[in-house]
């Protein structure tokens, strides 16, 4: 099995725990359910996935069924991809729980529970690192100094690869807090795999299977353009929200009793209430800055924060006052995964138009079919080349997302260019693209990951051939 497939399979904590438990011999379903602290029905699904990929096998002894690692993995577990996948998942949990603890301390929100969860994650990491003969803190109180060292000291090669070989420590020695790289990494991971991401996929699947698919898809494209317009603020009166969602709600009403009632709620998950009436807006994405003191301004996305630093001397705060009873704002998820990438899509789309539209009978369509691709170049009515702009902080998260949702991208052309914006590459080392390509699975070879400049170069070459 490919290493990337194993990594993907063991991204789930339950499956990681199952594989780890079976290192030490056979276990019954009841024993595994206790170890994983999950129901037998949920456990059965995870065991089914592991069995399907040949990682576990089962045997019946009397009335009981016992599970064990298959022979192919039992002897090489400690030295192959499974070992690294297990440790990376446990490491991710430590980082996630430290992030939760840090947020809880900032908001004074259930600090005790967050501290217990973090301590539990650290203890689990220590136990597994000891089992694999990897570096680990020898005493419970040493974890701060241990996680303040570079990650290349942890003995997990592909973990360093995921940090673009920068070896960022988990805990910044200067601030004593989670290093900014890992803050970005975990926020992107949590939001991309969270409830709102699942809601977005369900809405998209509902639209593509609806009898009024064309009408709803056009409304969906218009909604994305509104969300991504850098000239407008991401604040909307409740009256406007109702107007934007009306085509979708009308379609649901037509379905009557058969309409999935939860879809009404999912459509409204794009928006949330406003807490403060007076807001200082980010000049890049128009979202409110997290600290309302202008001298300590901070936005949701690193790109915005870099823009703020560049413009610090001439920055004029954009302050708005809104009636928080009658206005709503875009959620963080929509801002991170639709609005800010959408601003980049519009910018790259405009430059694409300038390159190709001086050729007769050529045109550029933005979001031609909803969310499959962002840019489609046509000439003489024929589709020539298509691109999808992806603005992920972590190249590993980008590769993981492409592996998970590649089937959605399949269209009439046999190649899709995944375009990484210029300042994403400037913000990180040059091997960002290499890391993405390294973790892509073989089955998604119709996706070609390129820089923004490589995309423009391909367009110019195509124009010369026309």
Burial class (CB in 10 A: 0-12, 13-18, 19+), 463: middle
173: its two tokens: 């020695």
Contact between residue 43 and residue 12 where contact means Cβ atoms under 8 Å apart: no
Residue reference for tokens 């990682």: 55
Three-state SS for 139-168 is: CHHHHHHHCCCEHHHCCCHHHHHHCCCCCC
CATH 1.10.10.10 residue ranges of the chain are: 3-75
Residue 181 has a pLDDT of 78
Give the Cα separation of 389 and 60 in Å (integer).
Answer: 51
Q: What does the alpha-carbon distance between residue 118 and residue 100 come to, in Å, rounded to a whole number?
A: 8
pLDDT value of position 368: 66
Residues in the chain: 466
Farthest-apart Cα atoms in the chain, separation: 78
Tokens for 259? 């309409």
| Residues near 316 by beta carbon (within 8 Å), at least 6 away in sequence | none
Q: What is d(CA 321, CA 277) in angstroms, rounded to the nearest whole number?
A: 5
Residues of the chain with CATH 3.40.1560: 342-465
Single pTM value for the model: 0.64
Q: How far apart are CA 214 and CA 370, in angstroms?
A: 10
Structural tokens at position 285: 């994405």
253 and 261 in contact (C-beta within 8 Å)?
Answer: no
CATH topology of domain 3-75: Arc Repressor Mutant, subunit A (1.10.10)
**pLDDT by 10-residue block (mean), the chain, 466 residues:** 63 77 78 83 87 85 83 55 69 82 73 82 80 72 82 75 72 83 74 72 81 85 82 82 87 68 74 75 74 57 73 62 77 82 88 82 75 80 88 81 74 83 76 82 85 92 80
- pLDDT, residue 294, reads 47
> CA-CA distance, 240 to 246, in Å (whole number)?
10
Spatial separation of the C-alpha atoms in residues 101 and 111, rounded to whole Å: 7
- Tell me which CATH code domain 342-465 carries: 3.40.1560
pLDDT of residue 425: 84
Element (H, E) at 453: helix 452-465
Going by DSSP bridges, is the β-strand pair 382-389/318-321 parallel, antiparallel, or unpaired?
A: unpaired
CB contact at 8 A, 1 and 10: no
- Residue 181, token pair as written in the block: 């790289």
Classify strands 416-420 and 278-281 as parallel, antiparallel or unpaired: unpaired
Which residue from 393, 420, 419, 390 is spatially nearest to 405, judged by alpha carbons?
390
Kindly state the tokens that stand for 396.
């590993």
CB 369 within 8 A of CB 216: no
* Separation CA 95–CA 426 (nearest Å): 25
- For the chain, the straight-line distance linking the first and the last C-alpha, in angstroms and rounded, comes to 43
Strands (E), 242-358: 271-273, 278-281, 318-321, 327-330
């Amino acid at each position: 099995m490919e290493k990337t497939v194993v990594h993907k399979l063991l991204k789930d904590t339950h499956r990681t725990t199952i594989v780890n438990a079976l290192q030490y011999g056979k276990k019954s379903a009841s024993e595994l359910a206790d170890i994983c602290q999950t129901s037998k029905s949920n456990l059965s699904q995870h065991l089914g996935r592991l069995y399907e990929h040949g990682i576990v096998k089962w045997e019946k002894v009397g009335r009981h069924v016992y599970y064990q690692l298959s022979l192919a993995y039992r002897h090489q577990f400690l030295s192959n991809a499974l070992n690294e996948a297990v440790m990376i998942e446990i490491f991710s949990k430590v980082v996630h729980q430290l992030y939760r603890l840090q947020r809880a301390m900032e908001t004074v929100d259930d600090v005790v529970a967050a501290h217990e969860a973090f301590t539990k994650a650290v203890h689990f990491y220590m136990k597994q690192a000891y089992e694999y003969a990897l570096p680990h803190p020898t005493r419970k109180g040493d974890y701060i100094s241990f996680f303040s060292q570079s990650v290349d000291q942890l003995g997990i090669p592909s973990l360093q690869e995921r940090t673009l070989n920068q070896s960022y420590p988990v805990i910044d020695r200067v601030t004593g807090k989670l290093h900014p790289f890992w803050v970005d990494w975990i926020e992107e991971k949590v939001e991309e795999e969270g409830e709102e991401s699942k809601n977005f996929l369900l809405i998209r699947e509902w639209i593509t299977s609806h009898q009024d698919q064309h009408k709803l898809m056009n409304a969906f494209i218009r909604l994305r353009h509104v969300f991504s317009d850098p000239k407008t603020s991401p604040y909307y009166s409740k009256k406007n929200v109702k107007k934007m969602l009306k085509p979708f709600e009308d379609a649901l009403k037509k379905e009557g009793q058969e309409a999935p009632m939860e879809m009404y709620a999912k459509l409204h998950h794009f928006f949330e209430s406003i807490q403060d009436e007076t807001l200082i807006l980010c000049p890049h994405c128009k979202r409110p800055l997290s600290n309302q003191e202008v001298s300590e301004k901070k936005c949701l996305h690193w790109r915005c924060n870099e823009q703020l630093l560049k413009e610090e001397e001439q920055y004029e705060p954009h302050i708005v006052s809104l009636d928080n009873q009658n206005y709503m704002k875009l959620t963080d998820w929509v801002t991170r995964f639709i609005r800010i990438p959408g601003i980049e899509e519009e910018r790259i789309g405009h430059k694409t138009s300038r390159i190709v539209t001086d050729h007769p009978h050529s045109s550029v369509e933005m979001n031609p079919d909803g969310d499959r691709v962002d840019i489609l170049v046509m000439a003489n009515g024929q589709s020539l080349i298509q691109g999808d702009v992806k603005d992920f902080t972590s190249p590993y998260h980008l590769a993981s997302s492409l592996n998970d949702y590649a089937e959605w991208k399949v269209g009439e052309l046999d190649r899709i260019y995944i375009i990484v914006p210029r300042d994403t590459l400037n913000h990180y080392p040059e091997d960002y693209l290499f890391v993405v390509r390294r973790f892509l699975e073989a089955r998604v070879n119709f996706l070609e990951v390129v820089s923004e400049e490589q995309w423009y170069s391909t367009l110019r070459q195509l124009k010369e051939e026309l």
